[in-house]
Amino acid sequence: MNPQLQRLIELQNTDSEITELDRGNAAIPQQIESGKSDLKEKQEELKQAEGVLAELQKKRKDLEMEVATENDHIAKTKSKLPAVKTNKEYTAILTEVDAVKEKISVLEDKELELMEELEEKEKRIPAFKAQCKEEEENFNAYKAKKEAEAKRTEEELEVLRARRHAAAGGIEEKLLGQYNKVFKARDSLAVVTIKENICQGCHSQILPQQVIDVKMGETINQCEQCSRILYWEETSETAVPK
Ligand SMILES: [Zn+2]
């Protein structure tokens, strides 16, 4: 086989491996990002539960303050008693105090209700936290696995790039230019086999004379349709070194 053709085949094989690994690695950030979604969901649930709790706690504090204000109100009203001159004034003060006491009783009932609700909601927080922690651990393990995969791939890529460099170095400049052009234009596939007279790149029929040339492997043949460089696998006795 034409040694140039042999190198072109090797170059294509190496480039195909590089392309595949590059694609795999390019997908990793997205995979990590989508792996985060379960964790985010749990974190959101926890945040919401904590938000509700904080709101209830604030309501409770407000009620406490209201009760304190009303107690002040009672003390102030009662402090008027020593100065009272008439029964009517006396009754009015006591009526006012009773009204405030009634108000306080309602507020305290509300506070009790709120405390029950708070207690019930607080009980759920540990479970949310545990779920969050579990999801976080799951995600961290997944992320570490993916990052290790990326690192391993990068190491493989380094070896392949060196191999590519070596293979490209042995190819005539004009031929390498052709290869690169077709590689870019034709979905990263510039060197293909023919099977049953069909170009395996674009699936068009190769003329009988060219099939003979391709089988001989002494010259560089390009598909007339897609310009890919053609070779015949069965006849390439010197298998492409891997
Ligand atoms: Zn073709």
Residue 242 has a pLDDT of: 41
163-188: per-residue pLDDT in tens? Answer: 999 999 999 999 999 999 999 999 99
What are the DSSP calls for 10-49, one per residue?
Answer: HHHHHHHHHHHHHHHHHHHHHHHHHHTHHHHHHHHHHHHH
Query: What spacing in Å lies between the alpha carbon of 191 and ligand 1's midpoint?
Result: 10
Which regions of the chain carry the CATH code 1.10.287.1490?
29-167
Low-confidence ranges of the chain (pLDDT < 50): 236-242
* 230: number of Cβ within 10 Å: 24
Query: What spacing in Å lies between the alpha carbon of 193 and ligand 1's midpoint?
Result: 10
Query: What spacing in Å lies between the alpha carbon of 11 and ligand 1's midpoint?
Result: 18
Query: What spacing in Å lies between the alpha carbon of 151 and ligand 1's midpoint?
Result: 36
In Å, how far are 37, 41, 132 from 138, measured between CA atoms?
Answer: 11, 13, 10
DSSP label at residue 189: -
Query: What spacing in Å lies between the alpha carbon of 95 and ligand 1's midpoint?
Result: 103
CA dist 81 and 143 (Å) reads: 74
Query: What spacing in Å lies between the alpha carbon of 147 and ligand 1's midpoint?
Result: 38
Whether residue 67 contacts residue 105, with contact meaning beta carbons closer than 8 Å, is answered with no
Query: What spacing in Å lies between the alpha carbon of 230 and ligand 1's midpoint?
Result: 8
Query: What spacing in Å lies between the alpha carbon of 78 and ligand 1's midpoint?
Result: 104
172 φ/ψ sector (left φ>0, alpha ψ -120 to 50, else beta): beta
End-to-end CA distance of the chain: 17
Query: What spacing in Å lies between the alpha carbon of 208 and ligand 1's midpoint?
Result: 14
| Amino acid at residue number 220 | I
Query: What spacing in Å lies between the alpha carbon of 202 and ligand 1's midpoint?
Result: 4
Structure tokens at 192: 């293909």
Residue 235 has a pLDDT of: 52
Structure tokens at 173: 């400049």
* Sheet strands (E) in the chain: 191-195, 198-199, 221-222, 229-231
CA dist 174 and 182 (Å) reads: 13
Query: What spacing in Å lies between the alpha carbon of 146 and ligand 1's midpoint?
Result: 37
The fold for domain 29-167 equals Helix Hairpins (1.10.287)
CA dist 152 and 21 (Å) reads: 10
212 φ/ψ sector (left φ>0, alpha ψ -120 to 50, else beta): alpha
Query: What spacing in Å lies between the alpha carbon of 170 and ligand 1's midpoint?
Result: 25
CA dihedral 237, 205, 181, 214 (to 10 degrees): 30
